[in-house]
Amino acid sequence: MVQCVHTVKELRNILKPLKAQGKTVGLVPTMGALHPGHATLISQSSKQNDITVVSVFVNPTQFGPNEDFDAYPRTLDNDLKVVEGAGGDIVFAPSPKEMYPSEDMTWVEVTGNITKVLCGKTRPIHFRGVATVVSKLFNIVAPTKAYFGQKDAQQVEVLKRMVKDMFFDLELVVVPIAREQSGLARSSRNTYLSDEEKSQATVLCAALNLALESFKSGNNDLESIINITKQKISSSEIADIEYVECYGLPGLYELKDKIQAPSLLAVAVRFGNTRLIDNIILE
């Protein structure tokens, strides 16, 4: 039976005796609205750790003023079922006041190119909010391992850097993108899509795969790979491209004319009012 707690104190009271027994703890930080993509993270954690904690917190500080914080789906009852089904043990669902106890915030911020490219360009405060809330969760849970989806590829790179710079004593585990049969990357924001938009959005995965094929067949020209991706996405008339960009891994370093393996090819595209992201590693 999954236990659901809402305060740091309750959570620590549960974890303390378990840790004293030497149990390992996996943390899966989420914003709730759990779907089968999250379930793969939770079930991987549950296989690799004695205890799995899933945090469910729609973090206000990672949303910009014109973003979908209020509209973001909140489905705690269903989330508890997903966690149970995937083998999780504890859901930590705090209030914003619990996570942000002071009026003036303490921020954790990763600086440099890594937070300025891709989503960082149009979402300037997003990664500061992510780094801050994830740091808090790390300090609250002190997990052995923490699980993040490759779907949020830039988030993964930012958090890897943060873990290294701040000496968090844990292993960050990156889980591959979960996709629907159609190829559409699973996302809580897919619930915003109409049937038509959902069908059109499958072009993202198709475009990324086309680029990967081209790269694998010997095309390492940056501009050409970007163009192949853009052209394919534009074959959907309702696709409104925010970016199609490619950076070197690890750390999202700037590429010159040629793509070095491994590199991240990432896209953000609007279908109607819904902004979707997807990515693939060229290697």
Instruction: Decide whether 139 or 194 has the Cβ nearer to a second copy.
Output: 139
Nearer to a second copy, 162 or 266 (CB): 162
Task: Answer yes or no: are the C-beta atoms of 37 and 187 closer than 8 Å.
Answer: yes
12 binds a second copy (CB under 8 A): yes
Check binding of 19 to a second copy (CB under 8 A): no
Chosen residue from 13, 64, 81, 165 binding a second copy by CB under 8 A: 165
Catalytic residue selected from 8, 11, 28, 38: 38
Say whether residue 111 binds a second copy (CB under 8 A). yes
Q: Does the protein bind a second copy through residue 100 (CB under 8 A)?
A: yes
Binding to a second copy by residue 27, rule CB under 8 A? no
Q: Which is nearer to a second copy, 206 or 255 (CB)?
A: 255
> Can you tell me the distance from the alpha carbon of 131 to that of 144, in angstroms, rounded to the nearest whole number?
18
Q: Which secondary-structure segment (H or E) carries 52?
A: strand 51-56
In the annotation, is 38 catalytic?
yes
> Considering beta carbons, is residue 142 or 238 the nearer one to a second copy?
142
Instruction: Give me Rg for the CA atoms of the chain.
Output: 19
DSSP states of 206-249:
HHHHHHHHHHHTT--BHHHHHHHHHHHHHTSTTEEEEEEEEEET
35 binds a second copy (CB under 8 A): no
The distance of closest approach from Cβ of residue 168 to a second copy in the complex, given in angstroms and rounded to an integer, is 6
Peptide bond into 65 cis (omega under 30): no
Q: Does 171 bind a second copy (CB under 8 A)?
A: no
DSSP 164-218: HHHT-SSEEEEEPPPB-TTSPBP-GGGGG--HHHHHHTTHHHHHHHHHHHHHHTT
Q: How far is CA 104 from CA 79, 100, 107, 218, 232, in A?
A: 31, 9, 9, 52, 46
Does 5 bind a second copy (CB under 8 A)? Our answer is no
Q: Given the rule CB under 8 A, which of 68-76, 157-165, 172-180, 239-247 is the region that contacts a second copy?
A: 157-165
Interface with a second copy, residue 7, by CB under 8 A? no
Phi-psi sector, 33: left (phi>0), alpha (psi -120 to 50), beta: left
Residues near a second copy (CB under 8 A) are 8, 12, 20, 22, 100-114, 131, 135-136, 139-140, 142, 161-162, 164-169
Catalytic residues: 38
* Binding annotation: 31-38, 62, 149-152, 155, 178, 186-189
